Structure formats: structure tokens, C-alpha cells
Amino acid sequence: MQNPAQKNVAQKTQAPLTDYLLRLGDSALVLGQRHAQLCGKAPALEEELALMNVGLDLFGQARNWLGYAAELMNDNVDADHLAFRRDAQDFRNLLITEQPNGDFADIMGRQFLFDAWHVHLLDGLTHSSDPRIAEVAAKSLKEATYHLRRSSEWVIRLGDGTEESHTRMQRALDNLWQFTGELLQVDEIDQAMIETGIAPDPEAIAARWKATVEEVLEEATLERPSYDAWMYTGGKVGHHTEHLGFLLAEMQYLPRAYPDATAW
Amino acid sequence: MRPPGNPPSDGPIDDWPSSDLIGSDRRGLPPAGEKGDIDAVLAVLEQVPDPEVPVVSVVELGIVRDIDWVDGRLAVNVTPTYSGCPATEVIEQHIHEALVAAGYSDPLIQRRLSPAWTTDWLTEAGREKLRAYGIAPPVGSASKRSLTGQSDPVVPCPLCGSNATERVSEFGSTACKALYRCRDCLEPFDYFKCL
């Protein structure tokens, strides 16, 4: 029979891990859906292909994270159920991922600030004490690295471009900045992950994120807002901006309207 | 000019990334002839084309990672090219169908993520077929430098062979390709990028 003390430990570590996986999976899913909304609306064919492919990578990553979370929940749910049958308050994505598409500067600014964090986090997660997380992270890291390469090029091209593109890129950065505090925020769930060696040292991630952001913004001739600026938080515990509900309403409509469908 | 988005070489994040972007056990399939049974299975799988690039087989693409027998049941391990590759399920289904048609009852098709797929696993024959089909095969070996754009390779045009080519977009018709253009024959073409 299982030692009761051990069982308690298992229960204690399982819930934060599930939450942590939802944070990873929901962030990828929601940002991927923002890309999907651009289908047929990108400014050029090449950019349309790129946006859709980046979105597709994010959906694939979301499926891997949410699939793992669903197994831990052991509640007869799967990744699709988590994606399509939960309401906004159950989502644990970062607030920056749900911000609206706006203009191309908003889209690439959001992607860049996220990518610059994502690559360093995934890189750290490849050393996770949880082998399944390490495996998914190693796969995702290659994709995220390529995403960062593209989003930084765009931030530089727009920032160091015409007066109009520079103005818009700076405005996008100023608007999005208030959601970046959450990327570096460490709460009790993160703390539990760090203590068990599942998640990497947050200070190293923060230092790397800042270094990447500073390097690219400098080359883009953009002014970096202050790290001490007031920041929105809450996405990681289910307190979202008003934008997420609308995104989910569109994304979840079909499976919710036809809950008995077995084939699409 | 140093390409953007990469950590400065003398900066605090000099060691980024700390992990190998290109992880490979270099093990793959057992050598041909070692097991007659495996050769027979391989022969079947060599007839299963990639649905997006039908000139190469799943074996040539390097996504068949392992062939084994589990309790008398044939088990084939397949790895996806990209996390979100929409062809993954279709490929697994096609492999299943081909094996059943060849007389293997109830084969087990397993998905394996680690080590992550790399274009280094594309076979020589596969690369040649890609080129003949009009898709430039990956140039050189996959590395951190090729992924972050620190070393963009010269990609010869698969149509006229010219080295005067330029990248139009980081992504082409599928996630695994980038869009290029030849400045000599003026034709656009897909490049199977290093991953």
C-alpha cells in the first residue's frame, strides 16, 4: 500500500504542474488563434503564409502541452476538450497573447515580446526534471527560435523604417509593454515548479529576455519603456482582459454548437 | 551586419541557447540486412509518400525512427517534422494502411517526439528527389547558426543551378519550407530549410 505521506506529496505536486502546463498550452493556443484570425487578411501573401505557419507551430505546441495536462487531470478530458470546452476564467494564458491583432506593428510587436521570452523559457525547460516537458520543449525550441528570428527582423524593419512605421512600432511597443510584467512574474505555482526542477531559474530567463529585447529595440531605434512601469497581471490565474471572451466565442463556436459530432 | 534577434557574442547571454537545438541520437534504423524482417517492413514504408511532398517517401524524409516487434505485433515509431504539421495524422494513417495491405495485421504506429526531427535525417536520395521536384534541399547541416539566421546559406536554384538567389520569406507553402527567388532565371522556389 502507498505510504499516505507520499500520496500527499504526489497530490501536492500534481495540481501546480497541471496549472503550469495549462499556462504553457493556453498561451500557445490563444496566440495561435490570433494568427488564425489573420487568415485572408495579411498585408502580403508571403506574410500570410508566415503568420499561418507560425500559428500552426503554436497550435502543435499547444496540443502537446494540453495533451499532457489532460492526462494529469484524469477526468476523461483530452486536449480538444481543454481547448474548446473551457470558459475564459479557466484559461491560464498570458495576457499579452490575447491582445487584439490591430495593425502589423501590433502583431509583430506582440510576437516579438512573446518570442523573446518563449525561446529562453523553452531553452530552460529542455533541462526540466520532467522528461516529457523536456521533450516537448526541445521540439518547440527549434520552432520558437525561428519565430524570434522573423519577429525581430520585422520589429527592426518597422522601427528603423519610415517615419510612419517607426511611429506605429513605437506606439505598439508602448501599448504592449504593460503586459510584459506577467512574462517575468513568479507566483506560487511557478515557485513550486522551480523547486522541483521542472521549471528553470526565473532570474536567468528575465535577464535573457531583457538582453534580447534591449538588443533588438536598440537596433530598431525604438525607445524601451521602463521595466518599472505599472504592469497588468492576472492571466496566469484566469483573470483576463475583455478580449479573450470574444476570441474564445469564435474559436469554440463549432464544437460547442455540435457537441455530439465525432468527425469534422 | 550581424543579424537581429541573436544574443550579443560578448553579452551576458553568450551561452544561449544552453541546450542543443539539434539533438540527434544518430541511431535511427538498424543497418540494412541486419534483420531481414526489418528490410521487408522498410520496403513497404519506402512506398509511402509524404503527402505534402509526394516525391519523397517517409523513410527518405527521415521520420521513421524505429521498427520493432512488441509481443509479436509490428511497432513503427514515427516523429513529426514540426509540432503543428497537419500531415502527421495522415502520414500515420497511410503507414498503417500500407502495412495492413502488405499483410501485417494490426501494426502499432507510435509517435515519438525525442530526439526532435532534424533535416539532417533526410537521406541523400531524398535530397536529390527534392531538387528534381523543384524544391531546394537543405544546405549544409542543421545548427543553431542556421536556425537563428547567423549564417544564411547560399541556396542554389533547383531549376537552373544559379547561386544568385534571395530569400523572399522565412516561410513557404508549408512550415518546413522558406520561399526563395532566383535572380537569374527569375523563378520563385521553395527551400526545405535546415531544422
Task: For residue A229, give the CATH number of its domain.
Answer: 1.20.1260.10
Tell me, yes or no, if A219 comes closer than 8 A to chain B by beta carbon: yes
Tell me, yes or no, if A146 comes closer than 8 A to chain B by beta carbon: yes
Q: Are residues B108 and B157 in the same domain?
A: no
Tell me, yes or no, if A208 comes closer than 8 A to chain B by beta carbon: yes
Question: Is the model's pLDDT at A8 over the cut of 50?
Answer: no
- Chain B residues touching A140 at Cβ < 8 A: 83
Cα distance from A4 to chain B (closest Cα, Å)? 35
- For B42-54, what is the mean pLDDT? 92
Cα distance from A44 to chain B (closest Cα, Å)? 11
- Closest partner residue to A61 (CB to CB) among B23, B83, B116 is B83
pLDDT at B109: 94
Q: Could A135 and B114 be called an inter-chain contact, meaning their C-beta atoms sit closer than 8 Å?
A: yes
- pLDDT tens digits, A103-155: 999 999 999 999 999 999 999 999 999 999 999 999 999 999 999 999 999 99
- pLDDT tens digits, B146-164: 666 666 789 999 999 999 9
pLDDT at B18: 62
Helix then strand count (H, E) for chain B reads 4, 7
pLDDT at B37: 82
- For B67-80, what is the mean pLDDT? 89
Q: Which pLDDT band holds residue A243 (cuts at 50, 70, 90)?
A: very high
Q: Which of B90, B117, B144 is the last residue of a domain?
A: B117
The parent domain of residue A250 ranges over 13-257
pLDDT at B21: 58
Pick the more confident residue, B83 or B22: B83
Structure-block grid coordinates of residue A23? 499556462
Q: Could B172 and A49 be called an inter-chain contact, meaning their C-beta atoms sit closer than 8 Å?
A: yes
Structure-block grid coordinates of residue A256? 460547442
Mutate to test the interface with B, among A64, A122, A146 (most CBs of B within 10 A): A146
A44 is a domain residue: yes
Q: Which pLDDT band holds residue B13 (cuts at 50, 70, 90)?
A: very low
Structure-block grid coordinates of residue B176? 518546413
Structure-block grid coordinates of residue B26? 544518430
Report the C-alpha gap between B66 and B78 in whole angstroms.
7
- Closest partner residue to A142 (CB to CB) among B21, B170, B171 is B21
Q: Could A139 and B147 be called an inter-chain contact, meaning their C-beta atoms sit closer than 8 Å?
A: no
Question: Is the model's pLDDT at B141 over the cut of 80?
Answer: no
pLDDT at A38: 96
Structure-block grid coordinates of residue B57? 517517401
Task: For residue B49, give the CATH number of its domain.
Answer: 3.30.300.130
Question: Is the model's pLDDT at A192 over the cut of 70?
Answer: yes
B63 is a domain residue: yes
Q: Could A139 and B116 be called an inter-chain contact, meaning their C-beta atoms sit closer than 8 Å?
A: yes
B1 is a domain residue: no
pLDDT at B31: 46
In this structure, of A5-9, A17-21, A38-42, A116-120, the range with the lowest mean pLDDT score is A5-9
Instruction: Indicate the DSSP class of residue B121.
Output: G
B181 is a domain residue: yes
- Chain B residues touching A63 at Cβ < 8 A: 83-84
Q: Which pLDDT band holds residue A204 (cuts at 50, 70, 90)?
A: very high
Q: Which residue of B has its CA nearest to A32?
A: B84
- Closest partner residue to A141 (CB to CB) among B21, B168, B174 is B21
- Closest partner residue to B195 (CB to CB) among A55, A142, A219 is A142
Structure-block grid coordinates of residue B68? 520493432
- Chain A residues touching B19 at Cβ < 8 A: 123, 126-127, 138, 141
A3 is a domain residue: no
A1 is a domain residue: no
- For A182-188, what is the mean pLDDT? 96
Q: Are residues B40 and B112 in the same domain?
A: yes
Q: Are residues B96 and B143 in the same domain?
A: no
Question: Strands B64-70, B135-136: parallel, antiparallel or unpaired by DSSP?
Answer: unpaired
- For B84-94, what is the mean pLDDT? 90
pLDDT at B15: 54
Q: Are residues B151 and B110 in the same domain?
A: no
Question: Is the model's pLDDT at A94 over the cut of 50?
Answer: yes
Cα distance from A43 to chain B (closest Cα, Å)? 13
Report the C-alpha gap between B117 and B65 in whole angstroms.
9
- In chain A, the percentage of residues whose pLDDT exceeds 90 is 89
Q: Total domain count for chain B?
A: 2
- For A86-104, what is the mean pLDDT? 97
Cα distance from B195 to chain A (closest Cα, Å)? 7
Q: What is the mean pLDDT of chain B?
A: 81
- For B152-180, what is the mean pLDDT? 89
Q: Which of B117, B144, B171 is the last residue of a domain?
A: B117
Q: Which of B85, B117, B149 is the last residue of a domain?
A: B117
- In chain B, the percentage of residues whose pLDDT exceeds 70 is 76
Question: Is the model's pLDDT at B179 over the cut of 80?
Answer: yes
Q: Which residue of A has its CA nearest to B10?
A: A211
A193 is a domain residue: yes
A249 is a domain residue: yes
- Chain B residues touching A148 at Cβ < 8 A: 5, 148
pLDDT at B36: 60
Tell me, yes or no, if A31 comes closer than 8 A to chain B by beta carbon: no
B21 is a domain residue: no
Q: Could A146 and B147 be called an inter-chain contact, meaning their C-beta atoms sit closer than 8 Å?
A: yes
Q: Judge residue A198's burial from the number of C-beta atoms within 10 Å of its C-beta, 0-12 exposed, 13-18 middle, 19 or more buried.
A: buried
Q: What is the mean pLDDT of chain A?
A: 93
Interface of A with B in 109-138 (CB under 8 A): 119-120, 123-124, 126-127, 134-136, 138
Instruction: Indicate the DSSP class of residue B141.
Output: -
- Chain B residues touching A216 at Cβ < 8 A: 4-5
Q: Are residues B138 and B113 in the same domain?
A: no
Structure-block grid coordinates of residue A134? 523536456
B91 is a domain residue: yes
- Residue A253 has a CB neighbour count (10 Å cut-off) of 11
Classify each residue of B45-76 as buried b or exposed e, where b means 16 or more C-beta atoms within 10 Å of its C-beta: beebbbebbebbbbbbbbbbbbbeeeeeebeb
- Closest partner residue to B85 (CB to CB) among A60, A64, A151 is A60
The parent domain of residue B142 ranges over 134-192
pLDDT at B73: 87
Q: Total domain count for chain A?
A: 1
- Chain A residues touching B4 at Cβ < 8 A: 149, 152-153, 155-156, 215-216, 219
pLDDT at B14: 45
Q: Which pLDDT band holds residue A261 (cuts at 50, 70, 90)?
A: confident
Helix (H, G, I), strand (E, B) or coil at A47: helix
Q: Residue A23 in contact with residue A94, Cβ under 8 Å?
A: yes
Report the C-alpha gap between A150 and A152 in whole angstroms.
6
Q: Could B147 and A126 be called an inter-chain contact, meaning their C-beta atoms sit closer than 8 Å?
A: no
- Residue A249 has a CB neighbour count (10 Å cut-off) of 11
- pLDDT tens digits, B93-139: 999 999 999 999 889 999 999 899 999 999 999 999 999 999 999 98
Question: Strands B188-192, B177-182: parallel, antiparallel or unpaired by DSSP?
Answer: antiparallel
- For A56-64, what is the mean pLDDT? 97
